[in-house]
Structure 1
Amino acid sequence: MKNYYAFEKLNPKEFILGAEKQHIFLNMLDIVCKGNLTLFTQSFSNFVHLFQSDSFYIAHNLVFYKGKKAICKGHVVKALKTQLIDFIEYAINHDDLRSFLITPIIANPNNKQVFYLTEEGFYLYEI
């Protein structure tokens, strides 16, 4: 399975590779699977105020399973808040919104949250 979606409209960005990419993605996926759904909305304008950090990881939620092991086949990138919001709004306005997992890059590892974006709506999961 090839992933040709490369976050072209998100600039500047920093691609995360290798074991770090897998680690970040699997942590986000774990929060979505085991965390509490604290918000659902179909309006990004009702959701965007929750983006409190200055920078975020965003992952194309493209997963391949080998047995019970999940493997990220999408890209994971690091982006600044302003560019990330512009990127998401562009994707929404041009019918190019993919399934994304987004987590803030913060110093406090106890505050774990993942924003899960889909064409159907916007979800916030927290542990």
Structure 2
Amino acid sequence: MKNNYVFKNLANKEFVLGTDKQDIFFNMLDVMRKGNLTLFTQSFSDLVYLLEKDSYYIAHHLIVYKGKKAIFAGQLVRAFKAQLIDFIQHAINHDDLRPFLISSIFSQDYKRVFYLTEEGFYLYDVK
């Protein structure tokens, strides 16, 4: 399965490549799997105030399997908060919101992850 989604509307992005991409994505996914759902909303504006850091990772949530091994097949980029908010707002307004995982770049343990879908917006954390 080829993923052609490349975050073209996200300004000033920096792609994360190689094993870092896999590690960061699966760390984010672990927070969703093992963490607590602390917020669910259907309004993106309810999450904006929770984006407290200046820089974030955003990953297209796309996993493929090779045998029993899970492989992250999406793209992972670094972006500044202002551009990230503009990107998400544009995607919502143009009915192009994909499943995304978002976490702070400066969070060493990826303790807080935002999960965005067409159905709603979720916040997971691990304490």
Taking structure 2 as the reference length, what is the TM-score of the superposition?
0.95
Once the two structures are superposed, what CA deviation does each residue of 1:23-61 show, in whole Å capped at 9, x if it has no partner? 000101111111110000000011111000100000000
**d(CA) in 1 for partners of 2:94 and 2:11?**
17
- 4+ residue segments displaced more than 4 Å: none
**d(CA) in 2 for partners of 1:20 and 1:27?**
10
- What is aligned with 1:7? 7
Residues 1-127 of structure 1: pairs in structure 2 closer than 5 A: 1-106=1-106, 108-109=107-108, 112-127=111-126
**Please, which moves more after superposition, 108-117 or 45-54?**
108-117
**d(CA) in 1 for partners of 2:74 and 2:105?**
19
Give the superposed CA RMSD. Answer: 1.1
1:33 partner SS: helix
Question: Which runs of 5 or more residues in structure 2 are unaligned?
Answer: none
2:49 partner SS: helix
In structure 2, the CA distance between the partners of 1:64 and 1:120, relative to structure 1 (3 Å rule), is same
Taking structure 1 as the reference length, what is the TM-score of the superposition?
0.95
In structure 2, the CA distance between the partners of 1:111 and 1:27, relative to structure 1 (3 Å rule), is closer
Question: Which runs of 5 or more residues in structure 1 are unaligned?
Answer: none
1:21 partner SS: helix
> Once the two structures are aligned, what percentage of the paired residues are identical?
65
